[in-house]
Amino acid sequence: MSLKGKVAVVTGGGKGIGRAICIQLAKDGAAIAVWDWDETGAKETAEMINKNGGTAIVCVVDVSSKEAISAQLKRTRDELGAATILVNNAGITGFVPFLDITEEVLDKMLRVNLKGPFLCAQAVVPDMLAAGWGRIVNISSSSTQGGAKSMSHYVASKGGVNGLTKALAMEYAAKGITVNAIPPGFVDTPMLRGSPLDVDATAAVSPMGRAGKPEDIAAACSYLVSEAAGYVTGQTISVNGGRYLL
C-alpha cells in the first residue's frame, strides 16, 4: 500500500512499537518525522530508514508541550512537507497501587499519554484539512479492555485516548480525515521487558503461545493510514493475539 508523497509524524519513534511503525511506513513510501524525547533512539531509527533508501528526520520533542510540538512541526514542514499522517505512539507506563498514586504521578501520566495525543492532533489537523486528506492512528492499550492491577492511572490515560479517537473521528469524518485506535496487547518491547511482568511465562500461556511483536502493530498501522482504509474511522483495531476478544 503506497504512501509515496505522504509525510508521517510518528511520536515515540525512537524504539519499540514506534520504531517498527516508522520503518514500516517508510517502506510504504512515506517520509518520516521521528518524534521522540530520546534523541539517541530517534537517530537510530532515522539512520535505519535512511540507510535503506527511505527519508527520515529526527525531531526531539516533549509531546506534552504545545510550544515544542509547534517548533518541531514547523521543522517537519520545512524539511519534508506538510504532515497528513499522524501516529500518536509516545507514552509512558507505571505500576503503582491505586492508593499510592500521587497527584504528581497522575498528572505526568495524563500529560504524556492523553494531553500529548490531543495537542499533536490539534497541531497537525490543519494541514490535513488543507490537503482534504488525513490519517490519525492513536496507539492506546488493551488494558482499557481488560483492566490492569496497579495501573489505574495508565489505564485511565489510555481510555481517554480511545474516547478522543471516537470524538475526532466523528468531527472530521466528512473532511477526508480518518481517526482510529490500535490497543496493543502484550507486545514484546523494551517497555514491557522493564515491567514487573514475566514476559516469557505470560506469552507461553497466551492463545497464540507468543508475545506480540512491534511489527504486528506496525502492519495494522500501515493498513489504517493507507487509501485502502479510507472508509474505516472511529474504530478500535485490536492487535492482541486473542488475549481480549472485544
| Positions marked catalytic | 154
Cα(97)–Cα(94) distance, rounded to whole angstroms? 10
Q: Cα 201 to chain center, whole Å? A: 26
Burial readout 74-110 (b: 16 or more C-beta within 10 A, e: otherwise): eebeeebebbbbbbbbbbebeebeeeebeeeebebbb
For 59, phi then psi, to 5°, come to: -130, 110
- Measured CA to CA in angstroms, residue 168 lies from 46, 134, 140, 177, 191 at distances of 29, 12, 15, 9, 28
Cα(167)–Cα(79) distance, rounded to whole angstroms? 31
Cell of 164: 478522543
DSSP 161-200: HHHHHHHHHHHHGGGTEEEEEE-B-SB--HHHHTSSS-HH
Cα(75)–Cα(80) distance, rounded to whole angstroms? 8
Q: 128 near 122, Cβ under 8 Å?
A: no
- Residues contacting 60, CB < 8 A, separation 6+: 36, 37, 39, 42, 72
